[in-house]
Every structure is written in C-alpha cells, then in structure tokens.
Structure 1
C-alpha cells in the first residue's frame, strides 16, 4: 500500500504544470537547504556558546581562587569577609553565583547564608586531594547550572579550599535565544526571497517555453523534424548571428553537403553557403521569389523572419528550389498559356471570318470572297516567313506570332520594326527566360495602350543582336508610368494596374532579375507624344560584375 500511495503522489505531481513543478521543487530544495544550514549554524553556535561559557567560568573561578584576601579568609574560615570579597568581585561580572568551600567541600560562603556549613554538591571525588579543576553541569542548590570548580592553594601550594562559579542554564538559554531569533528572522527573509526568485525563474521558464509542457515541446520538435524532412524544397534556418539552427535533407542535397544534418548545426552559414548575403543581410525583411546562386546552383529563394517577441528578429528561415525546375514548370505553363491564347484568337477570328464569308456568299460576292481569303492568307504567311528567317529561336518566334494575334484581337497593332533579328540568345538566358522578358514588356504595352483613349493603338517592338549586346525595345502610345512609381516600378509587388485586383507586380521585377543576372541594363523613358519606351541591353557574354537598372526621362 505505501508503494501504491507513492505512485499516486508521483502521478499527481506529474499532472501539475511544468513551471509550477519547477517552482515547488526549487521551494522544497531551498527549504531543505535553509533547514540544513540552520541546523548546522545552531549546532555550531551551541558548541561555541558552551565552550565559551566553560572557558569564561573557569577563568573567572581561577582568578577568584588566586585572590590573596580570599585565601586569607578561607584560612581563617571568615565567612563574613568572604561575603565582602565575593560581593566586590561580582560587581561587573556576568556569572550568577559563587560558592566557596574548605578542603573538605564544606561551604564557607554561599549566596544563601542558610546553606553555609553544609557540604557542597556535585563534588568530584578526589579532585581536591589532587588539586584538579573541573567543569560540571547539574541541578544544584540554586538551580540547573553549569559550574566551574577550581581549588584554592595557600602559599605552600596546599589545597585549602575550592571555588565553585556557576552560570544558570536559564541565562545560557536566553543568550542562545538572543542569537537564534535574529538568525531565524534572517532565514525567513532568505526563504521568502528564494520563493520569489523561484517564482520568477519558473515564470521565465514558462515564457521561454511559450506556455508548453516538455512533452508538448518534444512533440513540436519531432513534428518540425518530420516537416523539414517531408518538404520538397530546401530549408535552412539561421539565428540572428548567422548560425545554422536547422537544415533539411533536400537543402543538403542541392547544396552538395554529404555529411549528416546535425554536423552543420551551429556553424556559420557563410561556411556552408556561398554567397551567404541572402541569409544575413537585412534579416528583418521578408523576401519572396528572389533569384539567387547558392554554391553555384541557381535557385528561387524565399525568406521568412523568425520573431521572438522582441524588437530584433531571432533569425530567419530560407526556402529555395532549383531554378531549373521552376524554369521547366514555367516553360510548360507558358506554352499552355500561348496555346490557350492562340486557340481563343483563332476561334474569334474564325467566327468573324465565317460571319463575313457567309454574308458575302449570300450576296453572291464571290470575287470579294476570293480576294479576302487570298489577302489574309498572304499576310499571315508573310509574318510567319519573316519570323522564321530573322528569329532563330523557335520559342521566341512562336511568342511573337502569338502576341501579334493577341494584339489584333485586342484591336491593337504589333509592329515589329524592320531590321529586327535574333541569331542567338545572350549567355545566361534560355528561351523561356528570354521569352518572359519580351512577353512581359509586350503585355504591359498592350495594357497601357488600351488605357489611353487617344492612343494610336500601335505597339512597336525592336529586337536586335548586332554588336556586343542584345537589344530589346518596346514602345507604346499608352498612359505611361506615373512619376510617383518611376523609382519603384521595378520592385516586386509594384504595379501600374491599380484597377486590376489580380495584378501582382512581379513582371518587371522578374525582368530585372533576369537582366541583372546577365549584367544587363533596363531603362524607362517617355515616348512621344505619349506612352513609355522600355529598353533592355543584355551583353552577349555575361559581365563579371552585377549590373543594375536605372530610370531616365527623355
């Protein structure tokens, strides 16, 4: 049964909140320590007090026994004189009483005159014969006392009497209380302070543990490890000092780290990832869809800030995925989008043509029908032949053909400036990325042209790879870029399409990312009489330094 009760108490204790358990344990340990310390100090003081009383009593007894007047009075058995001598010696002393006896321990002086002439109590047998001094405690004629007894010697060294000097136990107890009561008060204050500190410490632990129990924290850690391992993207968490706190298997795989993940924990991120600026610079800012290079691998990275409740962030967690995978997905989505736009355009054109041809046939305008069919086919074929001869990249050529059809559907004209050509893509850009640059610039030009009612509805594209640079110029007669947005138009999330809730402001940001990566430059100028002119200059061979973009007005 006692074992069962202990198990029940232990289970009940485990149900208490962890911070409260810490507080109770600290309180119990503090109480035990204070009790042990109090016991030790009390015992030490008890020994010291008794030793001090013994020494003091024996010294005082010997001083009295060596008094010449007292020796003479003992020889003469003069009790009256002894009373006078003892009275003088008692002045200023703290002993309680003195009893003087002869060589046979018969009292010659006693504080109670009625006791004179009777044998002294607590006399050690043979002590007077040997001239020994001794200390004894017991109940005497005056009460419980601690007595120092020492013989009285004459001038010849013969024992002629004994002096018994006593301290009442009650007085010693009062001295003990005078010391222990303040000490107990100090211990109580210390215990209260320790209780307060224990509570503050347990509260600090509760805050640090976010109010969770250890088993909950362990579960969260296991969940985090499982989450890190199951995420397909690479994940790396760093603290505010740039030290790695977590890294998953896919991150190690993409970065070429062969050692187990725990080996990298606590190491500077600069020792693992090169360059490490994305992990350490402006760590308080969250960033999304940033093109970076980690250990020679081109990736799309995102960064989230880890907050700890203080002003300064506790660190950041970076997720990244190989840009090649994103590019493959982007290429597939781009092709699907082009197919959808082409089908929609062809369907629209087909319906218009069918309606027109139906009307002409009903009016028996057969010559007009034939002329119309030949003219449209010839225009389409001329555009296709031009793109096939001047644009060697088939994906870019297909994009331009699709954008031309899209412009017609929108009531616009896409004018590819004569002399445009593209023999080869610049170094560092693939077909999908180059198409994304051209396609985003044309889409923005289409939107801007449709917003300006005074526009001539013509969008011009100049594409050339003559010389050492590939040049892309897109001009429109649209609404232009407001002055308030010129400084930030190339930043992520900034868009001129304020009336479109689906606009994300990522097109120009993506263009800048591609162009800057290749060491190129993108400029924004005002077109005449209205609209904007975007110019992109990308070196055929990638420069060693990173380029930036700038805005300039005509």
Structure 2
C-alpha cells in the first residue's frame, strides 16, 4: 500500500510542468544543502563552545586553587575570609558561581550561606586523594551547570580542599543563541535568494523551450527527422548567420557530401555549398522555383524564412536537380504529395495551436490538458509503430505523411498488422523504394475519391519475410478498365483522361524499378470493388527481367 501511494505521488510530480519540476527540485536540493550546512556549523560551534567553556572553567578553578589567600583561609577554615575573597572573584569573572570545600568535600563557601557545611554534590570518588581535576555536568545546588573541580594543595603538596567553578547551562545556551540566531538569519536570506534564482532559471528554461514539455519537444524532433528523411528534395536549413542547422540525405547526395549529416551541422554554408548567395543574402525573402547552381549542379530551388513571431530564426532551402527533368516529371505526383503532407501537418498544427490558445485564454486548462494528451498519444503511437515495424526511416516517414494525407482527404489508410520492413530489395535505395510505395498509395487515394462506392479504406501490406519483399495496396475505388490493363504500365497511360499530361508517369516509374530488380507486379480486382496491386521484389537481384501480370478474380 505505501509503495502504491508513493507511485501515485511520483506520477503526480511528473504531471507538473517541466519548469515547475525544475524549480521544485532546485528548491529541495537548496533546502537540503542549507540544512546540512546549518547542521554542520551548529555542531562545530557546539563542540567549540563546550571545549572553550571546559578549558576556561578549569583554568579559572586552578588559578583560584593556587591563590595563597584561598589556601590560607581553607587551612584555617576562615569562613568570612573565604566569603570575601570568593565574592570579589565572582564579581570580576564571568563564571556563575564558585564553591569551596575541604578535603572531605564539605562546603566551606557557597553563594547560598545555608548550603555551607553540607557535602558538595557529584564528587568523583578518590579524585581528591589522587589530586585529580575533573568535569561534571548535571543538576547542582544552583541549577543545571557545567562544573570544573580541582584540588587545593598546601605548601607540602597535600590536598586540603577543592574548588568548584560552575557555568550555568542557561548562560551557555544564551551564548549559543547569540551565534546561531545571526547564522540562521543568513541562511534564511540565502534560501530566499536561491528560491528567486531557481524561479528565474525555471522561467528561462520555459522561454527557451517555448512552453513545451520535453516529451513534446522529443516528438517534434522525431517528426522532423521522419519528415526530413522522407522528402526526396534536398533540404538545408540555415540560421541568420549562415550556419547549417539541418541537412537531409538527399541534399548530401546531390551536393556530393559523403560524410554523415551531423558532421555538417554548425558549419558555415560557404564551406558546404558554393556559391552560397542563395543561402545567405536576403534570407527573409521568400523565393520559389529559382534556377541556381550548387557545387556545379544546376538546381531548381525554393526558400522559406523560419520565424518565431517577429524574430527571424533562419531559412529552409529545398532544391531538385534541374538536369533530372525526366525523374522530376516522373515523380511529380510524389513530390506534390510530400508538399501537401507538410502543409497538412502545418495546417493541422496551426489549427491545433489556435484552439489551444483560445482555450488558454478562456482558462479551460482541463480541456487543454485533454487535447495535449490525446494528440500526443495518437501521434506517438503512430510514430512508434512505424519506427518499430519499418527500419528504413525514409519509408517510415513516407507512411507517416500518407496517413496524414489520407485523413485530410476523408480516407482511411490502414497498414495491415504484421507489416514489416527490415531489408530493402537489392538494386533499390530508400528513395526508389519509397517512390514505389508512394505512387501506389497515391493511385489508390485517387481511385477511392472517384467513386461513391466502397468504404474509403486503402490497405497497405508490406513484408520482407522470406526471399522476397511483398507490397500489396488494395482500394475500393473505381478500378482499372479492362481495356487499359495490358498497357497501364506504359508511359503516358492513365485511367484519368480529363487532365492529360498530369498522369501516366507513376505506374511507368514503378514498372521500371520493378523490372530493374527482377520483380513481378500483379494487378487484380478487389472484392467487392476496386483494385489490388501486388509487387514481389526479390531480395537478391535476378538475371532475368521482371514480368507484369494481371488477373481477374
């Protein structure tokens, strides 16, 4: 039961905002440190004070015991003289009282005359016979005190009496308070200062994190990595000073940079791209479809400024090779889909953030918490499932974008349970494999939107078990007319005739990739309507060309 309670308390602590947790942790640590320092200083002063009082009391007792007048008065048991000397000594020193006794510890002098003639308290047996000095702490005739006792010797060195010097515990406590109270005040001021600094530090962290929690930041970073990896265009982000903050694999490949992407982060763009004017001059200005030359490569580049309010954080530059016109046209639909996916995510996030802003203005904090938790859980589950099932980041990022795009179109894209991809077919890189999957899904989306029948569900099955990589995309759309099935994979042939020139590239590109690696494509009717495309790509490239088959169910 206590463990369950502690677990609940820990979960409650984790639900607090991250800056608040930082503030509380720093505050707790500060309190413990100050408490430890206070304990150390108080214990050290306690030891010092006790030692000092003991030494002072013993020295005073020995001085009094060696006084000739005291020795003479004790020998002759001269009570009035002892009282006169003792009263004078007590007025000139800081001890609380002095008691003088004979060799049998019978009081010869006491501040209270009624106590004279009575035995002294707390005597150490045999101490006077041996001439020993000693300390005692306890309740005495005057009160709780620390006492130093030392023998009185005559001229022959014989013990004739004893002197007891007492310091009341109340006086020792007052000395202790005189030291501890100012020290406590200093520690309280120090604690208040640490609280202020902790709060300022927590507020600074909150501003730097844009009010987001670490999990939210990690999710955004993972989404950015997946989206960057899934985009075929080269992407480079720079800060206002021209230092690289992000670069994707396509950009490194086109620019001839063989080193890992992280090695280029933080380097001046002039060291990576020449000329670098497009990256450094007037980066706040948006540019679209600009012909440029990067490292001797003719490209078509776009530039978009990155802002936080009115502050310019840098710019992101996307580009494609101008010389690869055929490839650019062949993958036009795919690139357009990526842009639409990015816009979809941006649109959804802007709407989501606007809704959150409105709810925060209305102080609907419970509703804000529900929205954040729900969005975070759904996005995280999708990302985690894609990352675990598909080892290739570009393919995983592609599927993430397609799921978002299907949702925007009013469709439902389902990845069949058991789908996985840990090894690409030989002869295909991540970009080419993602182009195959992406074009198949695009065609399925279009076919599903062109018919009122069906259930608007597009299914994808992707598996690399066995000796082949299997890709199956099923829709319940308009299907492929019988007259086009024999030539649907030829360049320029499409089921859409209303916009000639805009279609007929995707399936041709797929067929070329499949044929190059010796694979097979089958085209079948789906039940109850629509089309089922099945691709079988050998993991080890075959010598013969791939074949294309179509079958009617």
How does the TM-score come out when normalised to structure 2? Answer: 0.56
Relative to structure 1, the CA distance from residue 308 to residue 130 in structure 2 (aligned partners, 3 Å threshold; closer, same or farther) is: farther
**Cα distance, 1:75 vs structure 2:** 1.6
> Residue 203 of structure 1 aligns with which residue?
203
**Cα distance, 1:212 vs structure 2:** 0.7
**Cα distance, 1:220 vs structure 2:** 0.4
Give yes or no for the alignment of 1:183 onto 2:183.
yes
Relative to structure 1, the CA distance from residue 251 to residue 174 in structure 2 (aligned partners, 3 Å threshold; closer, same or farther) is: same
Deviations 1:319-351 (Å, cap 9, x if unpaired)? 222233579979xx9xxxxxxxxxxxxxxxxxx
SS at match of 2:323: helix
**Cα distance, 1:91 vs structure 2:** 2.5
Inter-partner Cα distance in structure 2 for 1:152 and 1:286: 103
Relative to structure 1, the CA distance from residue 233 to residue 169 in structure 2 (aligned partners, 3 Å threshold; closer, same or farther) is: same
Give yes or no for the alignment of 1:266 onto 2:271.
no
Task: Report 1:413-452 matches (<5 A).
Answer: none
Relative to structure 1, the CA distance from residue 232 to residue 70 in structure 2 (aligned partners, 3 Å threshold; closer, same or farther) is: same
**Cα distance, 1:145 vs structure 2:** 0.3
Give yes or no for the alignment of 1:321 onto 2:320.
yes
Inter-partner Cα distance in structure 1 for 2:33 and 2:283: 47
SS at match of 1:157: coil
> Residue 155 of structure 1 aligns with which residue?
155
SS at match of 1:172: helix
Q: How many residues align?
A: 330
Deviations 1:214-272 (Å, cap 9, x if unpaired)? 11111100111112112222111233454322111111111112232223223333332
Relative to structure 1, the CA distance from residue 126 to residue 233 in structure 2 (aligned partners, 3 Å threshold; closer, same or farther) is: same
SS at match of 1:88: helix
Inter-partner Cα distance in structure 2 for 1:133 and 1:82: 21
> Residue 168 of structure 1 aligns with which residue?
168
Deviations 1:163-185 (Å, cap 9, x if unpaired)? 10011111111222222222222
Inter-partner Cα distance in structure 1 for 2:310 and 2:46: 54
Task: Report 1:452-467 matches (<5 A).
Answer: none
> Residue 74 of structure 1 aligns with which residue?
74
> Residue 306 of structure 2 aligns with which residue?
306
SS at match of 2:225: helix
Relative to structure 1, the CA distance from residue 59 to residue 231 in structure 2 (aligned partners, 3 Å threshold; closer, same or farther) is: same
> Residue 21 of structure 1 aligns with which residue?
21
Inter-partner Cα distance in structure 1 for 2:22 and 2:127: 62
> Residue 86 of structure 1 aligns with which residue?
86
Inter-partner Cα distance in structure 1 for 2:147 and 2:231: 88
**Cα distance, 1:43 vs structure 2:** 1.3
Inter-partner Cα distance in structure 2 for 1:79 and 1:183: 47
Inter-partner Cα distance in structure 2 for 1:304 and 1:60: 88
**Cα distance, 1:310 vs structure 2:** 7.9
**Cα distance, 1:284 vs structure 2:** 5.2
Deviations 1:6-32 (Å, cap 9, x if unpaired)? 111122212111111111212221122
SS at match of 1:324: coil
Inter-partner Cα distance in structure 2 for 1:101 and 1:315: 93
> Residue 98 of structure 2 aligns with which residue?
98
Relative to structure 1, the CA distance from residue 300 to residue 115 in structure 2 (aligned partners, 3 Å threshold; closer, same or farther) is: same
- Structure 1, unaligned runs of 5 or more: 334-554
Relative to structure 1, the CA distance from residue 70 to residue 242 in structure 2 (aligned partners, 3 Å threshold; closer, same or farther) is: farther
- Structure 2, unaligned runs of 5 or more: 333-553
Inter-partner Cα distance in structure 2 for 1:329 and 1:4: 60
SS at match of 1:204: helix
**Cα distance, 1:283 vs structure 2:** 4.9
**Cα distance, 1:84 vs structure 2:** 1.4
SS at match of 2:4: helix
Relative to structure 1, the CA distance from residue 154 to residue 305 in structure 2 (aligned partners, 3 Å threshold; closer, same or farther) is: farther
Relative to structure 1, the CA distance from residue 310 to residue 67 in structure 2 (aligned partners, 3 Å threshold; closer, same or farther) is: farther
**Cα distance, 1:72 vs structure 2:** 1.6
**Cα distance, 1:286 vs structure 2:** 4.9
Relative to structure 1, the CA distance from residue 91 to residue 328 in structure 2 (aligned partners, 3 Å threshold; closer, same or farther) is: same
Inter-partner Cα distance in structure 2 for 1:176 and 1:256: 76
Give yes or no for the alignment of 1:3 onto 2:3.
yes
Relative to structure 1, the CA distance from residue 15 to residue 97 in structure 2 (aligned partners, 3 Å threshold; closer, same or farther) is: same
**Cα distance, 1:307 vs structure 2:** 3.8
Give yes or no for the alignment of 1:293 onto 2:256.
no
Task: Report 1:494-513 matches (<5 A).
Answer: none
> Residue 135 of structure 2 aligns with which residue?
135
Inter-partner Cα distance in structure 1 for 2:254 and 2:266: 20
SS at match of 1:91: helix
Inter-partner Cα distance in structure 2 for 1:310 and 1:131: 90
**Cα distance, 1:315 vs structure 2:** 3.3
Q: Which has the larger radius of gyration?
A: 1
> Residue 526 of structure 2 aligns with which residue?
none
Deviations 1:275-334 (Å, cap 9, x if unpaired)? 3344345555555544432221122333333345686x443322222233579979xx9x
> Residue 46 of structure 1 aligns with which residue?
46
Task: Report 1:221-240 matches (<5 A).
Answer: 221-240=221-240
> Residue 350 of structure 2 aligns with which residue?
none
Deviations 1:81-128 (Å, cap 9, x if unpaired)? 111112222224221100011111111111011111111111111111
> Residue 397 of structure 2 aligns with which residue?
none
Task: Report 1:354-369 matches (<5 A).
Answer: none
Inter-partner Cα distance in structure 2 for 1:189 and 1:107: 52
Inter-partner Cα distance in structure 2 for 1:329 and 1:227: 19
Relative to structure 1, the CA distance from residue 265 to residue 154 in structure 2 (aligned partners, 3 Å threshold; closer, same or farther) is: same
Question: Larger relative CO (CA 8 A, sep 6+): 1 or 2?
Answer: 2
Over the residues paired in the alignment, what is the CA RMSD in angstroms? 2.4
Deviations 1:154-209 (Å, cap 9, x if unpaired)? 23322221110011111111222222222222222222222221111111111111
